[in-house]
Amino acid sequence: MLKKNKDDRYLKNYIFGSMRDPAEGKYLESVNPATGEVYSYVPDSDEQDVELAVKAAKMAFPAWSVTSIEKRSRILNRIADMIEQNLELLAYYESEDNGKPLLTARTVDIPRAAANFRFFASAIQQFSSESHRMEDAINYTLREPLGVVGCISPWNLPLYLFSWKIAPALAAGNCVIAKPSEVTPKTAYYLSLICKEAGLPDGVLNIVHGLGHKVGAVITAHPDVKAISFTGSTATGRQIAQVAAPMFKKLSLEMGGKNPNIIFADCNYQKALNTTIRSSFSNQGQICLCGSRIFIEKPIYEKFKTELAARTYQLKVGDPLNEDTNVGALVSQSHMEKVLHYIDLAVEDGGEILTGGKRVTLKGRCKDGYFVEPTVIEGLSVDSRCNMEEIFGPVVTLIPFEKEEEVIAYANATEYGLAATVWTENLSRAQRVADQLHSGIVWINCWMKRDLRTPFGGVKNSGVGREGGWNALHFFTEPKNVCIEF
Protein backbone atom coordinates (compact mmCIF):
# COMPACT_ATOMS: atom_id res chain seq x y z
CA MET A 1 0.00 0.00 0.00
CA LEU A 2 1.13 3.53 -0.75
CA LYS A 3 1.52 5.90 2.13
CA LYS A 4 1.68 9.65 2.37
CA ASN A 5 5.39 10.31 2.79
CA LYS A 6 7.66 13.28 3.31
CA ASP A 7 8.49 13.41 -0.41
CA ASP A 8 4.85 14.24 -1.03
CA ARG A 9 5.44 17.95 -0.76
CA TYR A 10 8.17 17.88 -3.40
CA LEU A 11 7.06 15.64 -6.25
CA LYS A 12 9.66 14.00 -8.44
CA ASN A 13 10.05 12.99 -12.02
CA TYR A 14 10.09 9.27 -12.80
CA ILE A 15 12.91 8.50 -15.20
CA PHE A 16 14.51 5.11 -15.88
CA GLY A 17 12.70 3.71 -12.85
CA SER A 18 14.02 6.22 -10.34
CA MET A 19 12.43 9.19 -8.66
CA ARG A 20 14.48 12.22 -9.66
CA ASP A 21 14.60 15.91 -8.90
CA PRO A 22 14.43 18.14 -11.99
CA ALA A 23 17.88 18.82 -13.49
CA GLU A 24 17.83 22.51 -12.56
CA GLY A 25 16.30 21.84 -9.12
CA LYS A 26 13.42 24.23 -9.80
CA TYR A 27 9.85 23.70 -8.62
CA LEU A 28 6.43 25.17 -9.32
CA GLU A 29 3.85 25.75 -6.62
CA SER A 30 0.83 23.45 -6.53
CA VAL A 31 -2.27 25.11 -5.14
CA ASN A 32 -5.21 23.36 -3.55
CA PRO A 33 -8.09 25.11 -5.36
CA ALA A 34 -10.52 24.46 -2.51
CA THR A 35 -8.39 26.42 -0.05
CA GLY A 36 -6.26 28.64 -2.28
CA GLU A 37 -3.16 27.41 -0.38
CA VAL A 38 0.12 26.14 -1.78
CA TYR A 39 0.34 22.57 -0.55
CA SER A 40 3.03 20.95 -2.67
CA TYR A 41 5.68 21.58 -5.30
CA VAL A 42 5.93 20.11 -8.77
CA PRO A 43 9.18 19.78 -10.75
CA ASP A 44 9.65 22.67 -13.16
CA SER A 45 11.50 20.39 -15.58
CA ASP A 46 13.12 21.42 -18.84
CA GLU A 47 14.72 19.93 -21.93
CA GLN A 48 17.48 18.22 -19.91
CA ASP A 49 14.90 16.13 -18.07
CA VAL A 50 13.07 15.31 -21.29
CA GLU A 51 16.35 14.32 -22.93
CA LEU A 52 17.14 11.95 -20.07
CA ALA A 53 13.65 10.46 -20.26
CA VAL A 54 13.94 9.90 -24.01
CA LYS A 55 17.32 8.20 -23.49
CA ALA A 56 15.80 5.95 -20.84
CA ALA A 57 12.82 5.09 -23.05
CA LYS A 58 15.09 4.30 -26.02
CA MET A 59 17.19 1.98 -23.86
CA ALA A 60 14.12 0.19 -22.55
CA PHE A 61 12.36 -0.19 -25.91
CA PRO A 62 14.21 -3.18 -27.44
CA ALA A 63 13.40 -5.42 -24.48
CA TRP A 64 9.87 -4.11 -23.83
CA SER A 65 8.81 -4.36 -27.46
CA VAL A 66 9.56 -8.10 -27.46
CA THR A 67 8.29 -8.79 -23.97
CA SER A 68 5.51 -11.34 -24.33
CA ILE A 69 1.98 -10.03 -24.50
CA GLU A 70 1.09 -12.18 -21.48
CA LYS A 71 3.81 -10.54 -19.40
CA ARG A 72 2.88 -7.00 -20.47
CA SER A 73 -0.72 -7.78 -19.70
CA ARG A 74 0.16 -9.18 -16.25
CA ILE A 75 2.09 -6.01 -15.36
CA LEU A 76 -0.76 -3.74 -16.53
CA ASN A 77 -3.21 -5.79 -14.47
CA ARG A 78 -0.94 -5.44 -11.44
CA ILE A 79 -0.94 -1.66 -11.93
CA ALA A 80 -4.75 -1.75 -12.07
CA ASP A 81 -4.86 -3.85 -8.88
CA MET A 82 -2.62 -1.38 -7.09
CA ILE A 83 -4.67 1.61 -8.21
CA GLU A 84 -7.74 -0.13 -6.77
CA GLN A 85 -5.94 -1.02 -3.54
CA ASN A 86 -4.92 2.61 -3.14
CA LEU A 87 -8.25 4.08 -4.22
CA GLU A 88 -8.80 6.15 -1.08
CA LEU A 89 -5.40 7.82 -1.13
CA LEU A 90 -5.51 8.50 -4.88
CA ALA A 91 -9.07 9.85 -4.68
CA TYR A 92 -8.06 12.14 -1.85
CA TYR A 93 -5.12 13.55 -3.83
CA GLU A 94 -7.18 13.92 -6.99
CA SER A 95 -9.72 15.94 -5.05
CA GLU A 96 -7.05 18.00 -3.28
CA ASP A 97 -5.22 18.77 -6.54
CA ASN A 98 -8.25 19.48 -8.70
CA GLY A 99 -10.99 20.72 -6.35
CA LYS A 100 -13.44 18.04 -7.47
CA PRO A 101 -15.72 16.41 -4.89
CA LEU A 102 -13.94 13.50 -3.19
CA LEU A 103 -16.97 11.37 -4.04
CA THR A 104 -16.44 12.03 -7.78
CA ALA A 105 -12.78 11.08 -7.54
CA ARG A 106 -13.65 7.97 -5.54
CA THR A 107 -16.47 6.77 -7.79
CA VAL A 108 -15.41 8.02 -11.23
CA ASP A 109 -11.80 9.15 -11.69
CA ILE A 110 -9.83 6.50 -9.84
CA PRO A 111 -11.97 3.44 -10.68
CA ARG A 112 -11.84 4.52 -14.32
CA ALA A 113 -8.04 4.86 -14.21
CA ALA A 114 -7.82 1.25 -12.95
CA ALA A 115 -10.33 0.19 -15.63
CA ASN A 116 -8.19 1.75 -18.35
CA PHE A 117 -5.17 -0.39 -17.39
CA ARG A 118 -7.33 -3.50 -17.02
CA PHE A 119 -9.11 -2.89 -20.31
CA PHE A 120 -5.90 -2.62 -22.35
CA ALA A 121 -4.28 -5.49 -20.42
CA SER A 122 -7.08 -7.60 -21.82
CA ALA A 123 -7.46 -5.87 -25.22
CA ILE A 124 -3.84 -6.50 -26.18
CA GLN A 125 -4.45 -10.23 -25.72
CA GLN A 126 -7.33 -10.08 -28.21
CA PHE A 127 -5.57 -7.75 -30.67
CA SER A 128 -4.96 -9.32 -34.07
CA SER A 129 -3.82 -8.24 -37.49
CA GLU A 130 -5.07 -9.12 -40.96
CA SER A 131 -4.01 -11.42 -43.74
CA HIS A 132 -5.03 -11.17 -47.40
CA ARG A 133 -4.85 -14.23 -49.63
CA MET A 134 -4.16 -13.88 -53.38
CA GLU A 135 -4.16 -16.64 -55.98
CA ASP A 136 -0.42 -17.05 -55.83
CA ALA A 137 0.59 -15.23 -52.68
CA ILE A 138 -0.37 -14.34 -49.16
CA ASN A 139 -0.09 -11.01 -47.40
CA TYR A 140 0.09 -10.80 -43.68
CA THR A 141 0.13 -7.52 -41.80
CA LEU A 142 2.19 -7.05 -38.69
CA ARG A 143 1.35 -4.36 -36.14
CA GLU A 144 4.55 -3.21 -34.53
CA PRO A 145 5.02 -0.76 -31.66
CA LEU A 146 6.19 2.69 -32.75
CA GLY A 147 9.09 3.10 -30.32
CA VAL A 148 9.12 6.07 -27.96
CA VAL A 149 5.83 7.95 -27.78
CA GLY A 150 4.65 11.09 -25.97
CA CYS A 151 1.44 11.30 -23.90
CA ILE A 152 0.31 14.77 -22.76
CA SER A 153 -2.80 15.20 -20.64
CA PRO A 154 -4.95 17.94 -19.04
CA TRP A 155 -6.13 18.76 -15.51
CA ASN A 156 -9.84 18.02 -15.57
CA LEU A 157 -9.75 14.22 -15.14
CA PRO A 158 -6.09 13.88 -14.22
CA LEU A 159 -5.34 10.17 -13.67
CA TYR A 160 -8.33 9.04 -15.73
CA LEU A 161 -7.11 10.72 -18.94
CA PHE A 162 -3.40 10.14 -18.23
CA SER A 163 -4.00 6.38 -17.97
CA TRP A 164 -6.32 6.39 -21.01
CA LYS A 165 -3.22 7.14 -23.10
CA ILE A 166 -0.45 5.40 -21.20
CA ALA A 167 -2.21 2.04 -20.88
CA PRO A 168 -2.71 1.38 -24.64
CA ALA A 169 0.76 2.76 -25.46
CA LEU A 170 2.43 0.36 -23.01
CA ALA A 171 0.16 -2.56 -23.89
CA ALA A 172 1.17 -2.22 -27.55
CA GLY A 173 4.87 -2.42 -26.62
CA ASN A 174 5.90 1.24 -26.77
CA CYS A 175 7.98 3.13 -24.24
CA VAL A 176 6.41 6.34 -23.04
CA ILE A 177 7.37 9.88 -22.07
CA ALA A 178 4.31 11.18 -20.26
CA LYS A 179 3.52 14.67 -19.04
CA PRO A 180 0.58 15.24 -16.75
CA SER A 181 -0.87 18.72 -16.35
CA GLU A 182 1.31 20.90 -14.14
CA VAL A 183 -1.92 21.98 -12.44
CA THR A 184 -2.81 18.47 -11.20
CA PRO A 185 0.39 16.39 -11.01
CA LYS A 186 -0.07 14.46 -7.81
CA THR A 187 -1.77 11.24 -8.88
CA ALA A 188 0.67 10.92 -11.78
CA TYR A 189 3.46 11.03 -9.19
CA TYR A 190 1.75 8.23 -7.26
CA LEU A 191 1.32 6.28 -10.48
CA SER A 192 5.14 6.33 -10.76
CA LEU A 193 5.43 4.67 -7.36
CA ILE A 194 2.79 2.13 -8.33
CA CYS A 195 4.52 1.28 -11.62
CA LYS A 196 7.81 0.65 -9.81
CA GLU A 197 6.15 -1.65 -7.31
CA ALA A 198 4.12 -3.42 -10.01
CA GLY A 199 7.34 -4.46 -11.73
CA LEU A 200 7.19 -2.26 -14.84
CA PRO A 201 10.77 -2.42 -16.18
CA ASP A 202 12.86 0.73 -15.79
CA GLY A 203 12.51 3.26 -18.60
CA VAL A 204 9.33 1.78 -20.08
CA LEU A 205 7.29 4.64 -18.63
CA ASN A 206 8.91 7.97 -17.82
CA ILE A 207 6.91 10.79 -16.26
CA VAL A 208 8.29 14.30 -16.65
CA HIS A 209 6.46 17.02 -14.76
CA GLY A 210 6.41 20.69 -15.69
CA LEU A 211 5.02 23.41 -17.88
CA GLY A 212 3.54 22.88 -21.31
CA HIS A 213 5.88 25.20 -23.16
CA LYS A 214 8.98 23.83 -21.36
CA VAL A 215 8.24 20.10 -21.22
CA GLY A 216 5.26 19.37 -23.49
CA ALA A 217 6.73 21.39 -26.35
CA VAL A 218 10.13 19.64 -26.03
CA ILE A 219 8.50 16.19 -26.04
CA THR A 220 6.48 17.22 -29.12
CA ALA A 221 9.53 18.47 -31.02
CA HIS A 222 11.90 15.66 -30.03
CA PRO A 223 12.97 13.74 -33.15
CA ASP A 224 13.07 10.41 -31.28
CA VAL A 225 9.46 10.68 -30.12
CA LYS A 226 7.46 9.03 -32.87
CA ALA A 227 3.90 9.92 -31.91
CA ILE A 228 2.04 12.38 -29.72
CA SER A 229 -1.20 11.54 -28.00
CA PHE A 230 -2.59 14.78 -26.60
CA THR A 231 -5.70 15.78 -24.68
CA GLY A 232 -6.26 19.44 -23.85
CA SER A 233 -7.38 22.71 -25.37
CA THR A 234 -7.79 23.34 -29.07
CA ALA A 235 -5.21 26.16 -28.92
CA THR A 236 -2.53 23.81 -27.54
CA GLY A 237 -3.55 21.05 -29.94
CA ARG A 238 -3.01 23.47 -32.81
CA GLN A 239 0.49 24.37 -31.53
CA ILE A 240 1.37 20.69 -31.22
CA ALA A 241 0.12 19.96 -34.74
CA GLN A 242 2.19 22.84 -36.13
CA VAL A 243 5.36 21.29 -34.72
CA ALA A 244 4.62 17.58 -35.09
CA ALA A 245 2.91 17.46 -38.50
CA PRO A 246 5.94 18.64 -40.54
CA MET A 247 7.97 16.00 -38.70
CA PHE A 248 5.40 13.41 -39.92
CA LYS A 249 4.66 12.20 -36.42
CA LYS A 250 1.51 10.26 -35.72
CA LEU A 251 -0.91 12.55 -33.91
CA SER A 252 -3.96 11.95 -31.80
CA LEU A 253 -5.55 15.20 -30.61
CA GLU A 254 -8.50 15.28 -28.21
CA MET A 255 -9.47 18.92 -27.80
CA GLY A 256 -12.17 21.35 -26.72
CA GLY A 257 -15.92 21.11 -27.06
CA LYS A 258 -19.13 23.13 -26.93
CA ASN A 259 -21.56 20.30 -26.76
CA PRO A 260 -25.28 20.64 -27.53
CA ASN A 261 -28.06 18.92 -25.54
CA ILE A 262 -31.15 18.72 -27.73
CA ILE A 263 -34.34 18.14 -25.78
CA PHE A 264 -37.51 17.39 -27.75
CA ALA A 265 -40.96 17.75 -26.18
CA ASP A 266 -41.60 14.00 -26.53
CA CYS A 267 -38.64 13.06 -24.33
CA ASN A 268 -38.77 11.06 -21.14
CA TYR A 269 -39.02 14.30 -19.21
CA GLN A 270 -37.77 13.27 -15.76
CA LYS A 271 -34.85 11.31 -17.13
CA ALA A 272 -33.90 14.20 -19.42
CA LEU A 273 -34.07 16.68 -16.55
CA ASN A 274 -32.07 14.53 -14.10
CA THR A 275 -29.40 13.74 -16.67
CA THR A 276 -29.17 17.34 -17.84
CA ILE A 277 -28.29 18.39 -14.28
CA ARG A 278 -25.46 15.83 -14.35
CA SER A 279 -24.29 16.65 -17.86
CA SER A 280 -24.20 20.36 -17.00
CA PHE A 281 -22.48 20.42 -13.62
CA SER A 282 -20.57 17.17 -13.02
CA ASN A 283 -16.97 17.96 -12.13
CA GLN A 284 -18.01 21.66 -12.03
CA GLY A 285 -18.79 21.49 -15.74
CA GLN A 286 -15.13 20.73 -16.41
CA ILE A 287 -15.60 17.59 -18.49
CA CYS A 288 -15.02 17.87 -22.21
CA LEU A 289 -18.27 15.92 -22.66
CA CYS A 290 -20.48 18.21 -20.56
CA GLY A 291 -23.40 19.70 -22.49
CA SER A 292 -23.15 23.48 -22.24
CA ARG A 293 -25.77 24.57 -24.80
CA ILE A 294 -29.20 23.24 -23.95
CA PHE A 295 -31.75 23.47 -26.77
CA ILE A 296 -35.33 22.86 -25.59
CA GLU A 297 -38.35 22.44 -27.84
CA LYS A 298 -40.85 25.25 -27.30
CA PRO A 299 -43.84 23.28 -25.87
CA ILE A 300 -41.77 22.26 -22.81
CA TYR A 301 -39.37 25.22 -22.68
CA GLU A 302 -40.94 27.14 -19.78
CA LYS A 303 -41.49 24.08 -17.60
CA PHE A 304 -38.06 22.59 -18.28
CA LYS A 305 -36.33 25.92 -17.75
CA THR A 306 -38.09 26.58 -14.43
CA GLU A 307 -37.39 23.11 -13.08
CA LEU A 308 -33.80 23.03 -14.32
CA ALA A 309 -33.10 26.39 -12.66
CA ALA A 310 -34.76 25.27 -9.40
CA ARG A 311 -32.82 22.00 -9.30
CA THR A 312 -29.57 23.83 -10.12
CA TYR A 313 -30.19 26.28 -7.28
CA GLN A 314 -30.44 23.33 -4.88
CA LEU A 315 -27.01 21.92 -5.78
CA LYS A 316 -24.68 22.23 -2.84
CA VAL A 317 -21.47 24.11 -3.53
CA GLY A 318 -19.05 23.14 -0.80
CA ASP A 319 -15.86 21.65 0.56
CA PRO A 320 -14.90 18.87 -1.87
CA LEU A 321 -14.11 16.62 1.08
CA ASN A 322 -17.70 16.73 2.36
CA GLU A 323 -19.81 13.79 1.23
CA ASP A 324 -22.85 15.99 0.54
CA THR A 325 -21.04 18.43 -1.78
CA ASN A 326 -22.37 18.41 -5.35
CA VAL A 327 -20.17 21.16 -6.78
CA GLY A 328 -16.55 21.56 -5.69
CA ALA A 329 -13.92 24.17 -6.55
CA LEU A 330 -12.84 25.21 -10.03
CA VAL A 331 -9.32 24.08 -10.78
CA SER A 332 -7.49 27.40 -10.34
CA GLN A 333 -7.93 31.07 -9.68
CA SER A 334 -7.24 31.94 -13.32
CA HIS A 335 -9.80 29.41 -14.52
CA MET A 336 -12.38 30.75 -12.06
CA GLU A 337 -11.72 34.27 -13.37
CA LYS A 338 -12.16 33.07 -16.94
CA VAL A 339 -15.52 31.48 -16.09
CA LEU A 340 -16.71 34.62 -14.24
CA HIS A 341 -15.59 36.72 -17.21
CA TYR A 342 -17.83 34.68 -19.52
CA ILE A 343 -20.76 35.17 -17.14
CA ASP A 344 -20.18 38.97 -17.29
CA LEU A 345 -20.03 38.74 -21.04
CA ALA A 346 -23.33 36.86 -21.14
CA VAL A 347 -24.98 39.69 -19.20
CA GLU A 348 -23.43 42.32 -21.50
CA ASP A 349 -24.80 40.39 -24.48
CA GLY A 350 -28.34 40.52 -23.07
CA GLY A 351 -28.44 37.16 -21.29
CA GLU A 352 -30.57 36.71 -18.20
CA ILE A 353 -29.14 34.72 -15.33
CA LEU A 354 -31.84 32.38 -14.05
CA THR A 355 -29.73 31.07 -11.18
CA GLY A 356 -26.11 31.34 -10.08
CA GLY A 357 -23.71 33.76 -11.72
CA LYS A 358 -21.42 34.59 -8.81
CA ARG A 359 -18.33 33.46 -6.97
CA VAL A 360 -19.13 31.61 -3.74
CA THR A 361 -17.24 32.42 -0.56
CA LEU A 362 -17.38 29.53 1.87
CA LYS A 363 -16.53 29.55 5.54
CA GLY A 364 -13.71 27.73 7.33
CA ARG A 365 -10.85 26.00 5.52
CA CYS A 366 -12.37 26.76 2.08
CA LYS A 367 -12.80 30.50 2.65
CA ASP A 368 -10.25 31.36 -0.07
CA GLY A 369 -11.22 28.59 -2.50
CA TYR A 370 -12.24 29.06 -6.12
CA PHE A 371 -15.96 28.28 -6.06
CA VAL A 372 -18.56 29.46 -8.56
CA GLU A 373 -22.32 28.98 -8.35
CA PRO A 374 -23.75 26.60 -10.94
CA THR A 375 -25.24 28.99 -13.44
CA VAL A 376 -28.11 28.83 -15.93
CA ILE A 377 -28.49 31.61 -18.51
CA GLU A 378 -31.20 32.26 -21.10
CA GLY A 379 -31.85 34.89 -23.75
CA LEU A 380 -28.52 34.75 -25.60
CA SER A 381 -28.38 34.56 -29.35
CA VAL A 382 -27.10 31.29 -30.80
CA ASP A 383 -24.02 33.03 -32.15
CA SER A 384 -23.12 34.97 -28.97
CA ARG A 385 -19.65 34.33 -27.59
CA CYS A 386 -21.00 32.31 -24.67
CA ASN A 387 -22.70 30.00 -27.14
CA MET A 388 -19.71 29.70 -29.45
CA GLU A 389 -16.67 29.53 -27.16
CA GLU A 390 -15.73 26.88 -24.65
CA ILE A 391 -16.25 28.09 -21.08
CA PHE A 392 -15.44 24.77 -19.38
CA GLY A 393 -17.15 25.60 -16.11
CA PRO A 394 -20.50 25.28 -14.33
CA VAL A 395 -22.34 27.48 -16.83
CA VAL A 396 -25.06 26.44 -19.28
CA THR A 397 -27.25 28.41 -21.66
CA LEU A 398 -30.85 27.64 -22.61
CA ILE A 399 -32.19 28.19 -26.11
CA PRO A 400 -35.76 27.42 -27.28
CA PHE A 401 -36.40 25.93 -30.72
CA GLU A 402 -39.37 25.01 -32.89
CA LYS A 403 -38.17 22.80 -35.72
CA GLU A 404 -35.86 19.83 -36.10
CA GLU A 405 -33.87 21.42 -38.98
CA GLU A 406 -33.53 24.61 -36.96
CA VAL A 407 -32.01 22.89 -33.92
CA ILE A 408 -29.66 20.79 -36.02
CA ALA A 409 -28.33 24.02 -37.58
CA TYR A 410 -27.93 25.57 -34.11
CA ALA A 411 -26.15 22.50 -32.77
CA ASN A 412 -23.74 22.45 -35.71
CA ALA A 413 -23.02 26.19 -35.60
CA THR A 414 -19.81 26.10 -33.53
CA GLU A 415 -16.27 25.25 -34.56
CA TYR A 416 -16.39 22.25 -32.21
CA GLY A 417 -17.81 18.77 -32.68
CA LEU A 418 -17.02 16.51 -29.75
CA ALA A 419 -20.26 15.17 -28.25
CA ALA A 420 -24.01 15.76 -28.48
CA THR A 421 -27.00 14.51 -26.52
CA VAL A 422 -30.47 14.04 -28.01
CA TRP A 423 -33.62 13.46 -25.95
CA THR A 424 -36.66 12.05 -27.74
CA GLU A 425 -38.82 8.92 -27.57
CA ASN A 426 -39.19 9.00 -31.36
CA LEU A 427 -36.62 6.54 -32.63
CA SER A 428 -36.79 7.69 -36.25
CA ARG A 429 -36.18 11.28 -35.24
CA ALA A 430 -33.33 10.24 -32.92
CA GLN A 431 -31.65 8.42 -35.75
CA ARG A 432 -32.29 11.28 -38.23
CA VAL A 433 -30.87 13.93 -35.90
CA ALA A 434 -27.86 11.79 -34.90
CA ASP A 435 -27.10 11.33 -38.60
CA GLN A 436 -26.93 15.08 -39.21
CA LEU A 437 -25.00 16.21 -36.15
CA HIS A 438 -21.39 17.13 -36.74
CA SER A 439 -20.09 15.31 -33.74
CA GLY A 440 -17.75 12.44 -32.88
CA ILE A 441 -20.10 11.09 -30.23
CA VAL A 442 -23.91 11.23 -30.04
CA TRP A 443 -25.81 10.04 -26.98
CA ILE A 444 -29.52 9.32 -27.37
CA ASN A 445 -31.46 9.49 -24.10
CA CYS A 446 -28.32 9.16 -22.01
CA TRP A 447 -25.03 10.90 -21.29
CA MET A 448 -21.45 9.76 -20.56
CA LYS A 449 -22.38 6.15 -21.13
CA ARG A 450 -18.97 4.78 -22.03
CA ASP A 451 -18.00 1.45 -23.49
CA LEU A 452 -14.21 1.50 -23.66
CA ARG A 453 -14.29 -0.42 -26.95
CA THR A 454 -16.02 2.41 -28.83
CA PRO A 455 -14.22 5.17 -30.78
CA PHE A 456 -13.75 8.27 -28.65
CA GLY A 457 -13.00 11.68 -30.13
CA GLY A 458 -14.32 14.65 -32.01
CA VAL A 459 -14.65 16.27 -35.44
CA LYS A 460 -13.84 19.84 -36.55
CA ASN A 461 -11.75 21.68 -33.94
CA SER A 462 -12.49 19.07 -31.28
CA GLY A 463 -10.23 16.37 -32.52
CA VAL A 464 -7.99 14.49 -34.87
CA GLY A 465 -8.08 10.70 -34.61
CA ARG A 466 -9.88 8.49 -32.12
CA GLU A 467 -9.00 6.89 -28.82
CA GLY A 468 -10.58 3.78 -27.30
CA GLY A 469 -10.52 0.06 -28.09
CA TRP A 470 -8.81 -0.99 -31.32
CA ASN A 471 -8.47 2.68 -32.33
CA ALA A 472 -5.96 3.27 -29.56
CA LEU A 473 -4.03 0.07 -30.32
CA HIS A 474 -3.98 0.95 -34.03
CA PHE A 475 -2.70 4.42 -33.17
CA PHE A 476 0.12 3.07 -31.04
CA THR A 477 1.24 0.51 -33.66
CA GLU A 478 2.47 0.76 -37.22
CA PRO A 479 1.20 -1.76 -39.78
CA LYS A 480 3.78 -3.55 -41.89
CA ASN A 481 2.54 -5.71 -44.76
CA VAL A 482 4.57 -8.76 -45.76
CA CYS A 483 3.76 -10.41 -49.09
CA ILE A 484 4.96 -13.97 -49.84
CA GLU A 485 4.60 -15.40 -53.32
CA PHE A 486 4.06 -19.16 -53.37
Applying CB under 6 A, the residues found at the interface with ligand NAD are 152-156, 161, 179, 181-182, 212-213, 216-217, 220, 231-233, 236, 239-240, 254-257, 288, 390, 392, 418, 458, 462-463
b/e per residue, 282-313, with b = 16+ CB within 10 A?
bbbbbbbbbbbbbbbbeebbeebbebbbebbe
Query: Which of 177, 198 has the CB closer to ligand NAD?
Result: 177
- Please list, in sequence order, all residues whose beta carbon lies within 8 angstroms of the beta carbon of residue 346, skipping any fewer than 6 positions away: 353, 377, 380, 384, 386, 395, 397
**d(C-alpha 195, C-alpha 202), whole Å:** 9
Q: How far is the CB of 382 from ligand NAD (least distance, A)?
A: 20
* Cβ-based neighbours of 262, under 8 Å, separated by 6 or more: 295, 407, 411, 420, 421, 422, 423, 433
Measured distance CA(351)–CA(381) in Å, rounded: 8
Alpha-carbon torsion (439, 332, 86, 16), positive or negative: positive
Q: How far is the CB of 284 from ligand NAD (least distance, A)?
A: 12
The residue among 101 and 154 lying less far from ligand NAD, judged by its C-beta, is: 154
Nearer to ligand NAD, 212 or 320 (CB): 212
Cβ proximity to ligand NAD: between 253 and 376 the closer is 253
Q: Minimum Å distance from CB 481 to ligand NAD?
A: 31
Is 405 labeled as catalytic in the residue annotation?
no
For residue 335, the minimal CB distance to ligand NAD (Å) is: 8
Nearer to ligand NAD, 92 or 164 (CB): 164
Q: In this structure, are residues 378 and 351 in contact, taking their beta carbons and an 8 Å threshold?
A: yes
Which of 199, 264, 258, 209 lies closest to 49 in space, CA to CA?
Answer: 209
* Whole-number Å distance between alpha carbons of 196 and 177: 15
Supply the minimum distance, in Å, between the C-beta of residue 191 and ligand NAD.
15
Catalytic residue among 254, 373, 390, 467: 254
Least CB distance to ligand NAD at residue 473 (A)? 18
Question: Pick the catalytic residue: 288, 290, 366, 386?
Answer: 288
- Of 33 and 232, which has the nearer Cβ to ligand NAD? 232
Cα-based angle 183, 315, 442 (whole degrees, multiple of 5): 70
Burial of 445: CB neighbours in 10 Å, binned 0-12, 13-18, 19+: middle
Cα gap 343→380, rounded to integer Å: 11
CB contact at 8 A, 457 and 439: no
Catalytic-residue membership of 446: no
The catalytic site residues sit at 254, 288
